């Protein structure tokens, strides 16, 4: 299978570098380390909990949720039983918090999930909105990022009413690189990748792939004016 720009779909990590145990695109890694040092000066321990994920890793997450082996959450972060769901309902439920493999920005090495290591342990982190809101352990980090993230080239692509993906205050994207990746994203390439995969609910996904890409890949918050 020949896929143009395969790194966009989690099939190639050439040129990525290690950043504190996580793989990142090299410019993203350098920018993150600079931002991390600045945060320390303001009493915040900025840490990565998730960065690059390849296609197979995202596929394992998707299939675990589609088969009921992993808990599914609704938009209020409450567990949902999948027993009586149609294929369409199941796909839409998974998409609230998890991307279809080949359609995750974590494939790019430009996007990271972050937390404040001085206020919560990685093992206790759930990546739910309340952790980043008032009285949550990552609230001060959230406020700091709102002011400073774009100074280092980062922004939140998943914001209320501006993205198909549910708001994720923990998700940052290095827009000097990711903006170009988004422009290069190609429907036919990801379709070819998915057709050759063993993803669960494949027929349902492929039948509406165009609209799914528009909603969950293309529709993100605009890049900030710098």
Residue 2's pLDDT band, with cuts at 50, 70 and 90, is: low
pTM of the entire structure? 0.94
Which residues on neighbouring strands pair with residue 46, listed in sequence order?
116
Share of the chain above pLDDT 70, in %: 98
Q: What is the pLDDT of residues 11-60, one digit of tens each?
A: 998 889 999 999 999 999 999 999 999 999 999 999 999 999 999 999 99
Handedness of CA 8, 14, 18, 19 (dihedral sign): negative
Helix (H, G, I), strand (E, B) or coil at 121: coil
pLDDT at 7 over 90: yes
The number of angstroms, rounded, from the C-alpha of 38 to the middle of its chain's C-alpha atoms is 24
């Amino acid at each position: 299978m020949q896929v143009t720009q395969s790194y966009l779909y989690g099939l190639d990590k050439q040129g990525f570098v290690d950043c504190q145990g996580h793989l990142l695109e090299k410019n993203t890694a350098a920018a993150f380390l600079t931002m991390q040092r600045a945060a320390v000066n303001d009493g915040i321990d900025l840490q990565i909990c998730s960065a690059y994920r390849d296609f197979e890793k995202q596929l394992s997450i998707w299939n675990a949720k589609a088969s009921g082996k992993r808990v599914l959450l609704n938009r209020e972060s409450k567990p949902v039983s999948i027993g009586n769901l149609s294929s369409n309902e199941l796909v839409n439920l998974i998409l609230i918090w998890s991307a279809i493999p080949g359609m995750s920005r974590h494939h790019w090495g430009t996007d990271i999930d972050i937390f404040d290591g001085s206020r919560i342990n990685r093992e206790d982190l759930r990546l739910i909105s309340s952790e980043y809101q008032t009285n949550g352990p990552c609230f001060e980090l959230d406020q700091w990022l709102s002011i400073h993230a774009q100074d280092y080239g980062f922004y939140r692509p998943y914001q209320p009413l501006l993205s198909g993906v549910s708001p994720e205050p923990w998700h940052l994207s290095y827009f000097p690189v990711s903006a170009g990746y988004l422009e290069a994203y190609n429907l036919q390439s990801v379709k070819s990748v998915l057709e050759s995969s063993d993803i669960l609910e494949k027929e349902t996904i492929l039948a509406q792939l165009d609209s799914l890409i528009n909603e969950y890949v293309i529709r993100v918050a605009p890049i900030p004016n710098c």
